[in-house]
Structure 1
């Protein structure tokens, strides 16, 4: 449930106040716990107006204030953080990876309640994947999860997603993950997946590419938490990524951004699964590095060989150099402050990161070389599911029952 808000008369000043309340609640939904000073910086409201709005929201129960834990306190008066009341509901994220389902849950105060994963055989039908997701969701928080006020589920899928759909359970579906290798039945994967999820959970479904969602997760809870401009790259069996620009996920005009793995690095190189030739994915994916090394059947064997076999280090070094060159080109065009590198290949640690950083530093514009921070991802397999939750927190009309903010042109 949502706590009731104070009732106002419907004059211009009352509408303006409701708009201010909506703004503060929306900032807490998007960013999680914020101090009064941080809310002031984000909202642009005067100190007097902001404190009046916060007092009303705390009195109504919609917002709670808490002092930092003793370990987090510094000298001086403890700074209170304001959050939406955690009991107002939870958000669920599901990541349908190629061979596993990952789920996570977060409450409206941005506290992670839990996560779970389970592998499955390739080509598992969508209905069985949804069965698996439902079971995993039921295992979180002792089966006591409530969607509450959020009333939406975020979903990550493999492959391009041209649009993000959000609507009631019977609304038309616009998001369409392209996974022809795993799509059963006469319907398209997008229809199967969205309808199954809406039938099981009875709420709208927001869908996006799972790697792009991992970028949003790392900027919300992970390695780049609090940073506004983040470039994320995942090096796994495929290579892809995402951009967070100004604190929001960048999807591009047709929802096809983040395909960094299909930037050409060798014009006469190997044919790529996308139809191109010499893409980054053909030299920096797990399979490509294993082929370059030639002495290991899987990634764990390659990683185990690193301390003693120079050939294993050379294979990773070559891949890392290509990755660094691509990242520098994207940075020169986009200008992020943080680069987060994740995926299975990132388990190589310093061997990979050092080669990436060398090429990155060499190819960045000199003015940018000390302004871009390269960091390892921290969320692991739960990144896509947590990013799906972040999508709900950013996009879901959490406070839809409240009047919309006033139109500045309405009273002119």
Structure 2
């Protein structure tokens, strides 16, 4: 799936919901004057929004003068329009947004281990539904749903009976048990990158390499304000680049992948600790062996990032995930490994920066992506009729 990060021109429906979300109920005449459109054009848009339960008509309200009371329109602020759920190896996060993009419900909980992805999706969806009912949020008219999973979710993933990855069909089935609407499925890393590019550390950078260091290693690419999943949706599998002289079997079926050296479980195993907090404590205490292992692993990550940089020449590398959150020094270690592998005679000017946003922002990006993608597909379809 591809996402254009240039600011999209708001549709008339977007303009109406934005106006009504910021102002008192308005009549057709007031909306036409405020938005500069004809009554016929406004009427078509209003009908779509009422059908989508994004706008409510209020009858029997007379504002001025005599005659028949005019119909007023107001935003259905408490009616959910889009849903975003992002599963990572550290947390399960979900949000519900109304048609204006306001967050109605936001929920993030620590991940259970081992993770069953389909159970995690179902549990997160159930939790959002329960919270929505408790707070009076209407969920019957959700139109778009964005889902992120920390595994390859391209259109050509092999899903044999022994595959560790859920199929797109199984994800759709689980989501559809509780929610109705068009469903977008993508990788967690790509949706996290989208949130950073839109609202976080990536704002203003036309080209970005987003690298997520967690229980796995994922990446995503933004080139000229365009975030792409590639031909089949497999862009960014940085963690499965082979590292020289590493032969550890990987869960993907290969051996010597970067994840087997530089993921959190791999680092913990090498440093003889059972958790990231213990690893961080050893680093804080300047344990020489731990620091040496960590520097070697981040050199490898930096080298893989340099290989990517030689191809796409990003303006920034955003370092994200639980590892840099617990051990901030890894960003500098990665930067040193990167610099050693770039062409010395060329000034690359690549900023290595820490991510700013968390899982809820990624879930919001999932909902945003599902809505904007559904809108663009609809426009393309209408343009061919």
Instruction: Provide the TM-score with structure 2 as the length reference.
Output: 0.71
Q: Cα distance, 1:303 vs. partner?
A: 0.6
| 1:360-381, Cα deviation, whole Å (9 max, x unpaired) | 1222235764532211112223
Aligned to 1:75: none
Partner of residue 135 from structure 1, selected from 113, 127, 137:
127
Q: 1:94 and 2:96 equivalent?
A: no
Aligned to 1:225: 203
Gapped regions of structure 1 (runs ≥ 5): 1-22, 34-51, 64-84, 164-173, 408-412
- The alignment covers a number of residue pairs equal to 327
Partner of residue 299 from structure 1, selected from 252, 260, 276:
276
Within 1, Cα distance between the matches of 2:179 and 2:266? Answer: 40
| Aligned-partner SS, 1:396 | helix
Q: Cα distance, 1:264 vs. partner?
A: 1.4
| Aligned-partner SS, 1:331 | helix
Change (3 A) 1:109 1:223: farther
Aligned to 2:294: 316
Contact 2:121/2:174 (<8 A) preserved: no
Contact 2:182/2:374 (<8 A) preserved: no
Contact 2:125/2:175 (<8 A) preserved: no
Q: 1:356 and 2:334 equivalent?
A: yes
Gapped regions of structure 2 (runs ≥ 5): 1-7, 19-32, 47-74
| 1:308-362, Cα deviation, whole Å (9 max, x unpaired) | 2232222222222111111111011012222111111112444211111112122
Contact 1:102/1:385 (<8 A) preserved: yes
| Aligned-partner SS, 1:271 | coil
| 1:254-306, Cα deviation, whole Å (9 max, x unpaired) | 11111001111224432222232322111110122112222x21110111122
Q: Cα distance, 1:25 vs. partner?
A: 2.2
Q: Cα distance, 1:234 vs. partner?
A: 1.0
- 1:210-249 equivalences under 5 Å are 210-249=188-227
Q: Cα distance, 1:391 vs. partner?
A: 1.9
Aligned to 1:24: 9
Within 1, Cα distance between the matches of 2:316 and 2:42? Answer: 39
Contact 1:341/1:377 (<8 A) preserved: yes
Change (3 A) 1:177 1:378: farther
Change (3 A) 1:28 1:237: farther
Change (3 A) 1:236 1:175: same
Partner of residue 239 from structure 2, selected from 252, 261, 272:
261
Change (3 A) 1:109 1:370: farther
Instruction: Provide the TM-score with structure 1 as the length reference.
Output: 0.67
Partner of residue 262 from structure 2, selected from 284, 287, 290:
284
Change (3 A) 1:399 1:223: same
Aligned to 2:145: 153
Contact 1:153/1:204 (<8 A) preserved: yes
Change (3 A) 1:180 1:336: farther
Superposition CA RMSD, Å: 3.9
